[in-house]
Amino acid sequence: MKFTPRQPPRVFRTGYGPFVDLSDCGQMQLEADEQITFITDGAAELDVVRKSWGYYGTPSLNSRLVSFGLRTALAKNRLNRYFVLIVEAGKEEEFFRYLETEAMPFIGWLDNEKALGAVEAALKKNNSNDQNDAAGL
């Protein structure tokens, strides 16, 4: 693991509602099979794992992430760009206010069996050939 701090942080403006100044504080480089854990003030945890092929961006959506006090949501912005958002349990009301301010439609929660089963079924139906296409079959 290699962390490279950005001193001073790169600050940039974002948002559609009230603008927010974000601070880019640095870069984290993980080797394959390394993990970094982000922790909130309330002790909620988000693990990111590097693999040789890419990343596990979250722990299991319907088990470990929930047990860590976090929920996964799907939303999109005004430009039709989709986002997986991680919400602290108990802060859903604040999250929905944020989505409203940013004019981001809420698609749904991705942290329970019913929702994930529906996503799985829809993707299997619509993308049955994608895996074969990617494998060159």
Contact 49, 28 (CB under 8 A): no
Buried b (16+ CB within 10 A) or exposed e, 46-79: bebbbeeeeeeebbebbeebbebbbbbbbbeeee
- Give me the phi and psi of 107, to 5 degrees please: -85, -45
Taking the whole predicted model, whether its pTM rises above 0.85 is answered as no
**Chain segment 105-114, per-residue pLDDT in tens:** 999 999 999 9
**Chain segment 21-70, per-residue pLDDT in tens:** 989 999 999 999 999 999 999 889 999 999 999 999 999 999 999 999 99
- 63: three-class secondary structure by DSSP: coil
